[in-house]
Amino acid sequence: MSQEIFAKLTNSLVDGDPDATFEATKEALAAGIEPMAIIKEGLIPGMNIVGEKFSCGEYFLPDLIIAADGMQKAMVLLEPELLKRQQAIESAGTVLLGTVKGDIHEIGKSLVGTMLSANGFKVHDLGVDVPTETFIAKVQEMKPDILGLSALLTTTMVMQREVIKALAEAGIRDQVKVMVGGAPVTRSWAEEIGADGYAEDAMGAVQIARQLVGK
């Protein structure tokens, strides 16, 4: 029975049908399956297949966005259940994530967040238009392994440099690895501003994050 529901969850993500993911999650909870099992046996395998298909060029950004949408819809149902059981998802590392000040682009940053979560990272998403001071304060408070900075505009990517500078000024630059990304961001930009990691897309971000926490 539960195998069937897990397959349904996995397939709904691979087929890009977020409403089906949502329904299958409801069904799984109603059938008494533990939320952690739903995530580990149903959702994560689905996201991994989508990620692999994306990496090998079979899937494209729309497929990834839609799968992430399904994953998020499922998590809306699962998170309260996890809280009730006082369970936390095992973590490969913690990532603090946000889009820099002056930039309100959400989708790319959230996609990276979802793919990192699906791969076992604990992700704190600070949202969009995040002031530099907030990044600094949150790094000090949460002590994440990785800070991810997204910028989608050539006019706002300069803020990535500002955040890295501010980390140094606050004396905490060596306490956190910084990853940068976003449409106008390039590898040479990442090197120029002294970021620790850069990836072209959400799947690349997962690999880089793994490398960064592996030390």
Partner 1 sequence: MTSDRFTIHLQPIGRRIQIRPDQSILEAAQLAGVEINSVCGGVGLCEACRVRVIKGQLSDPTLDEQNAFSTDEVRQGFRLACQAYPQSDVVIDIPPESLSTPQRLQLESQQKSQELDPVVRQSTVEIQPPSIEDLRSDVTRLRAALQPEAGNLELDYCVIQKLPGLCRSSGWKIQAIFHQSKLIQILPATPRPRILGLAVDIGTTKVAAYFVDIESGGILAQAGSMNPQIAFGEDVISRISYLINHPDQRKHPNQNLLHQRIIEGLNKLIDKMLSEIADPLISHENIVDAVVVGNTAMHHLFAGLPVEQLGISPYVPAVSEALYIPAKDIGLAIAPAALVYLPPNIAGYVGADHVAMLLPTIYPYYSDSDKKHSKVMAIDIGTNTEISLLNNGKITSCSCASGPAFEGAHIQFGMRAAPGAIEKIQITPEKKILYKTIGDQEPVGLCGSGILDAIAEMYSANLIDSKGMFLNNHPNMHIEGRNMEFVLVPAEESGHHQEIVLTRRDVNEIQLAKGAIRAGINILLAEAGLMAQDLDAFIIAGAFGTYIDIRSAMKIGMFPFVPLERCHQVGNAAGAGARQMLLSKRYRQIASELANQIHYIELSNHPKFADEFSKSLFFPAKELSI
Residues that bind partner 1 (CB under 8 A): 16, 18, 56-58, 60-63, 65-66, 69, 102-107, 110, 128-129, 153-156, 158, 184, 186-189, 191
Minimum distance of partner 1 from residue 73's CB (angstroms): 9
Minimum distance of partner 1 from residue 132's CB (angstroms): 13
* Pair 111, 82: CB distance under 8 Å: no
Residue closer to partner 1, measured from CB, 176 or 195:
195
**What pairing do the DSSP bridges indicate for beta strands 93-99 and 177-181?**
unpaired
Minimum distance of partner 1 from residue 139's CB (angstroms): 22
Measured distance CA(86)–CA(92) in Å, rounded: 19
Residue closer to partner 1, measured from CB, 102 or 194:
102
Beta-ladder partners of 149:
98, 180
Under DSSP, the state recorded for 94 is E
Residue closer to partner 1, measured from CB, 80 or 184:
184
Helix (H) or strand (E) holding 124: strand 121-125
Beta-ladder partners of 181:
150
Q: How open is the CA angle 50-113-209, to the nearest 5 degrees? A: 85
Minimum distance of partner 1 from residue 11's CB (angstroms): 14
Measured distance CA(181)–CA(193) in Å, rounded: 12
Residue closer to partner 1, measured from CB, 38 or 128:
128
Measured distance CA(184)–CA(20) in Å, rounded: 34
Residue closer to partner 1, measured from CB, 68 or 167:
68
Minimum distance of partner 1 from residue 5's CB (angstroms): 23
